[in-house]
Amino acid sequence: MADIILKDTEKIVVSKNEFAGREYIHIRKFFKNGEEWLPTKKGISLEKSIMGKVIEHLLTEMEG
């Protein structure tokens, strides 16, 4: 879905997949090891159905 570059060796990856009949959105930090991007333990997976509410609350926090 999207890569958000933070530094030359660090990025956030937003992706989507399906598991057990449900769609999930994953947001995970990756680091570069040589030429390969590897995932870190820093991340979250949420059901796609609740992402609208999560985004709404994030926007409210950013405004406040």
11-59 pLDDT per residue, tens: 999 999 999 999 999 999 999 999 999 999 999 999 999 999 999 999 9
Domains and CATH numbers, the chain: 2-63 (2.30.31.10)
SS3 20: coil
- Which pLDDT value is given to residue 1? 85
> Can you give the pTM of this predicted structure?
0.84
- Which pLDDT value is given to residue 33? 96
* Residue 16 burial (C-beta neighbours within 10 Å; 0-12, 13-18, 19+): exposed
